[in-house]
Amino acid sequence: MAKRLPKSDRRQGRLAGGLGDLYDGLFLPSLRILRPRQATARNCPQAASLTTQSKILATGIVLTAMAIVIVALWLADGAPPSPLVPNGPAQQVAIEVDPSDTGEPTPSYHQFVGHMTCAECHSEIHSVHIATPHANTFASTSESPIAQQFCGRTMSSGGKYGTYEYQCDDEGLLVDIQERRDGRLFPLEYAVGSGKHAVTFLTLLPDGAETIGVEHRMTWFRASGESGITPGQNADVPERAVDFFGRVFRGEDMRRCVSCHVTTGHIVRGRIENLTAGIHCERCHGPGKEHVQAAEDDDTAAATAAIRSKWSGADEVAMCGECHRMPDDLAPERLKRYPNSLVRFQPVGLLRSRCFTESAGRMKCTTCHDPHAPVESRSLAMQLDSCRQCHSKPTETHCAAGHSDGCIKCHMPAIELLPGISFHDHWIRVHDNDAAADGNVDDDAGHASAR
Ligand code: HEC
Ligand code: HEC
Ligand code: HEC
Ligand code: HEC
Ligand code: HEC
Ligand code: HEC
Ligand code: HEC
């Protein structure tokens, strides 16, 4: 198990490699800026943002610059770090990942009240929702039980990558590579994925004026209880030092990686400010401050008007599709071919189903899903009832093939994309005998970049 070094030694470990002498006393706090604890942010976003903001003010630009120097070494692998270090004071790159992506006016962060406030009046919905994969899909590695299982473990990462050695400290998970050991530990900051199927680690690093995301090479899979190569990374070849820890995402891909797994957050120089980890009420319903005020004033009409809660079929599919993917997230060629890997993107399938296109806007995601509960909350019988809402002729013959039951297994079959991870084909249609054996397969089971 974990060879838990005494704290001072672990600091030494991080400070080794020549940097320690130079930046003694600065290196650790600077890493802390890269990786603040998020516990308070989840419970009380405003309070947390105040603390982090004052922390930044207090520690100042110098430490941020230190962090950049260190990060630059990973990025450059021995090359002089200078091109990656900005010359002047840190320029702030602010990236909104709150629901402003929906095209509506950007709601100020202060309009968000947090899901614990919603729980005061909607306790039933909240108590179910809090246990869903949505609510638990993002955490600091210090708070993720799956991440904590990595502490002290060693595992081969395949081929050129070498052997990963994991350690934990009170800020979360860190990794080193046996074959390349140089005393610098690479932090793995966030655990992405609820663990219902899988958990992948993510690190955000400032790279010059930009922030990059490093999706760690190893992913934990529930089906096997073990780790394997992160889907989509099998064919990667490492070049810079940073590549040995995983795949680098930049720009829009990096921002969306975080955005799709959180309620609010604001990426600034490799950090997420105003983070509300996981997908909670206000991600879908919009910020709730006005709604809560009106409800507290007993003005039900104003309360109802002040919160987003009614969507047309197409609007709801688009809202869910912001994360579950819409057709325009995909390359046209892939879309046309519809390989099995596309079953991962339910809106894409649903939108081309005759059930959707020929039902005059009556079909939405919530026709068959409770948006506040895990999928298992609806039994198979309930799923069949949702088909029967529209397919119930007086003769009781629902299906041209004469079946009155089992609709899903024939018309929305589950397809296993990764061992133990299946998705139901939401392109509702008449399939060939064996959908999975139709040969229309591609290798890319990753989802972080859908193209
Ligand atoms: C002080 C009590 C209170 C709080 C706190 C509260 N609500 Fe409500 N909410 C109400 C009342 C009252 C209604 C209207 C009557 C009803 O549907 O029960 C309502 C209705 C709603 C509706 C349905 C509106 C409709 O069209 O029927 C949604 C969605 C909603 N709330 C979401 C939220 C979210 C999200 C939060 C947290 C940001 C929240 N509420 C916090 C009292 C509250
Ligand atoms: C456009 C939105 C989007 C982006 C970008 C995105 N995800 Fe996801 N992620 C989802 C959705 C939706 C699911 C659930 C369905 C699925 O697994 O495809 C999911 C599931 C997961 C899971 C659980 C595994 C599973 O199959 O359920 C992990 C782990 C994960 N994402 C990590 C990441 C990481 C790391 C990145 C960025 C490097 C990323 N995601 C980028 C939307 C996104
Ligand atoms: C993934 C998106 C999503 C999240 C997260 C979410 N909701 Fe909803 N919610 C919806 C949708 C969609 C509807 C409308 C369902 C319909 O049209 O039948 C809805 C309906 C509602 C309603 C009115 C109908 C009802 O079921 O009573 C309330 C109240 C509500 N949500 C409160 C909440 C609260 C409180 C939370 C957080 C605990 C929350 N929602 C989280 C998507 C979401
Ligand atoms: C006609 C019914 C129906 C509609 C509409 C529908 N789904 Fe599903 N969905 C299902 C069924 C059935 C399952 C499998 C449930 C189970 O495993 O118990 C499922 C499963 C899922 C899953 C889990 C992964 C998988 O594919 O098995 C996700 C995510 C999902 N749906 C998202 C969506 C989204 C987003 C929409 C709207 C674009 C949507 N669904 C619309 C019936 C539907
Ligand atoms: C902010 C991004 C986002 C939005 C918006 C969103 N989802 Fe998801 N959804 C996810 C992610 C991420 C996961 C994977 C959670 C995990 O296991 O880590 C997921 C998982 C699911 C699942 C599988 C849950 C289970 O119990 O296995 C269903 C079903 C689902 N979403 C339906 C919906 C529906 C319906 C909507 C719209 C009302 C919606 N989602 C909106 C990101 C989103
Ligand atoms: C909102 C209404 C609605 C719901 C819910 C619905 N359908 Fe449909 N479906 C339609 C309409 C309309 C058509 C096109 C006319 C027809 O064939 O009846 C259709 C067509 C179909 C077709 C033929 C598709 C093709 O390409 O030829 C199948 C198969 C089907 N539905 C199965 C299902 C199953 C299985 C479910 C439940 C998981 C379901 N439908 C839920 C409305 C719906
Ligand atoms: C054992 C597999 C199976 C089951 C179970 C099944 N179907 Fe079918 N369904 C088929 C086949 C095969 C066809 C195509 C028949 C044909 O074209 O001769 C079909 C055709 C249909 C069609 C008409 C397609 C068209 O173009 O007109 C609809 C609608 C439909 N099914 C709905 C359902 C519903 C709803 C259920 C559940 C109550 C269901 N099916 C259960 C295999 C099945």
Q: Give the pLDDT mean for 13-17.
A: 27
State in Å: Cα 288 to ligand 1 middle. Answer: 9
User: Is any atom of ligand 3 closer than 6 Å to the C-beta of 324?
Assistant: no
Distance CA 378, CA 352 (A): 24
Considering only 32-41, 147-156, 342-351, which range has the smallest mean pLDDT? Answer: 32-41
pLDDT at residue 300, rounded to an integer: 97
Distance CA 266, CA 2 (A): 34
Which of 389, 403, 404, 431 is the best mutation target for the ligand 7 pocket, counting ligand atoms within 8 Å of the beta carbon and taking the most? 403
Distance CA 246, CA 219 (A): 10
Question: Is residue 56 scored above 50 in pLDDT?
Answer: no
Q: Closest Cα to atom 43, ligand 2: which residue?
A: 260
pLDDT at residue 83, rounded to an integer: 25
Going from N- to C-terminal start, the domains of the chain cover 7-277, 310-437
Q: Which two tokens stand for residue 114?
A: 């947090």
Q: Closest Cα to atom 10, ligand 1: which residue?
A: 295
Question: Is residue 349 scored above 90 in pLDDT?
Answer: yes
Closest listed ligand to the CA of 348: 4
Chain-wide mean pLDDT for the chain?
A: 78
User: Is any atom of ligand 1 closer than 6 Å to the C-beta of 283?
Assistant: no
Question: Is residue 239 scored above 80 in pLDDT?
Answer: yes
pLDDT at residue 412, rounded to an integer: 97
User: Is any atom of ligand 1 closer than 6 Å to the C-beta of 358?
Assistant: no
Listed residue (405, 368, 410, 371) closest to 389, CA to CA: 368
pLDDT at residue 450, rounded to an integer: 62
State in Å: Cα 259 to ligand 2 middle. Answer: 10
Q: Give the pLDDT mean for 325-346.
A: 94
Which of 98, 285, 365, 366 is the best mutation target for the ligand 3 pocket, counting ligand atoms within 8 Å of the beta carbon and taking the most? 285
pLDDT at residue 441, rounded to an integer: 60
Q: Radius of gyration (Cα) for the chain, nearest Å? A: 24
What are the Cα distances from residue 352, in Å, to 88, 266, 376, 451? 51, 34, 25, 19
In terms of pLDDT, which residue wins out, 157 or 367? 367
Helix axes 45-76, 27-34, angle to 10 degrees: 110
User: Is any atom of ligand 5 closer than 6 Å to the C-beta of 371?
Assistant: yes
What ligand 5 atom has the least distance to the C-alpha of 137? 18
What ligand 1 atom has the least distance to the C-alpha of 298? 12
pLDDT at residue 402, rounded to an integer: 80
What ligand 7 atom has the least distance to the C-alpha of 429? 24
Q: How far is CA 318 from the centre of its chain?
A: 18
Question: Is residue 131 scored above 80 in pLDDT?
Answer: yes
In terms of pLDDT, which residue wins out, 82 or 232? 232
Q: Give the pLDDT mean for 416-435.
A: 87
Question: Is residue 259 scored above 80 in pLDDT?
Answer: yes
Confidence grade of residue 392 (pLDDT, cut at 50, 70, 90) = confident
Confidence grade of residue 36 (pLDDT, cut at 50, 70, 90) = very low
Q: Count Cα atoms within 13 angstroms, Cβ side, for 255.
A: 16
